[in-house]
Amino acid sequence: MGEKKCPECKPGSPLWMATFTDMNQLLLTFFILLLSMASMDQRKIKVALGSLQGSLGVLKEGSQTEYTRDDIMSRMSMVKNVQNVKSKVTQNLQSYAKQANLQQNITVSESKKGVAVRIMDSSLFAPGSADLKEEAKPLMDKIAAVIAESPFNIVVEGHTDDLPLTTAQYPSNWELSTARAVSVVKYFIGKGVSAQKLSAAGYGEFHPVAPNISPESRAKNRRVEINFVSPELAESNKNLFDAEEESQATGGK
C-alpha cells in the first residue's frame, strides 16, 4: 500500500511584507512626532489619523502607498524650518517690543502656510495714513533682518475695520489697506530685502479677526500681517485640508 501524500502547503507571505511593515512603523512614528510638536487641534488630528486608514493592513492587488520615506523626511524638514523662523522672529521682536511697550500690539504665530507676524496699525501708521511712523522703523528693521536670512517668501497684508473711509487719497478701505501693505514692502526693499520674495495685498475690512462691535475689537482688525510663507508647507497643508473636505463631503467614508 502506497504512502499518503501530504497536502501541498500554502505559500508563505511575500518578501515585500517586511519592507511594507517597516514603512508602516515609520508612518506611525512620523504622525506621533507631529502630534508631540503641535497643539492638539482635534480637527487636524482626525484628518491625520484618517490618512492612516488602510495603510496599516495588506494592500489590495494593484494598489500602492501614498507616502515614501522621502515624503516623511521632507515634511519633517518643513516643520523644522517653520519652527526655526518662528523662533528667530520671536527672539528678535520680544526684547524690542518690551522696550517699546508694544507687547500687546505684536503677535507671532504659526499658520497653515508658515509664520504670521500681526502688528496693530497704531504701532505703524497714523489714522487714515499709509506712511510709516518714524518710531515704527526700528521694529521694521528687526523684521527685515529676519526676512533677509529666511528662505521663505513674504506676503504683507493690510487690513482695516468696517468703518467707512472716504478721502481724496483713499476712496475706501481697499485703497488704504493696500497702500499700507505696499508701504511696508517698499520699506523692506529699501533695507536690502530682495523684491522677488516680497508681495503685498490689501483686504479692507473683509478679513476681520474680531467682531466689529466695539472700539477694542475694531482696533484688533486694523492691522498689518507679515506672513513668512513656505510654498511646500502651504501645498502640503492644502492637500491635507482638501482631503478633509472630501471626507466630509462623502460622509467621512
Secondary structure class of 236 (helix, strand, coil) = helix
Question: What local confidence, expressed as pLDDT, does residue 59 receive?
Answer: 47
For the chain, give the mean pLDDT: 79
Residue entry with cell 495588506: 58
Please report which confidence band the pLDDT of residue 56 belongs to, taking 50, 70 and 90 as the band edges. Answer: very low
Which has the minimum average pLDDT: 16-25, 34-43, 114-123? 34-43
Please report which confidence band the pLDDT of residue 43 belongs to, taking 50, 70 and 90 as the band edges. Answer: low
For the record, the C-alpha cell of 119 comes out as: 502688528
The C-alpha atoms of residue 179 and residue 185 are separated, in whole angstroms, by 10
DSSP assignment letter at 15: T
Can you tell me the mean pLDDT for 112-129? 92
Please report which confidence band the pLDDT of residue 109 belongs to, taking 50, 70 and 90 as the band edges. Answer: confident
DSSP secondary structure of 119-153: EEGGGTB-TT--SBPGGGHHHHHHHHHHHHH--SE
Secondary structure class of 193 (helix, strand, coil) = coil
191 and 144 Cβ atoms separated by less than 8 Å: yes
Q: Is the pLDDT of residue 155 over 60?
A: yes
Residue entry with cell 507631529: 34
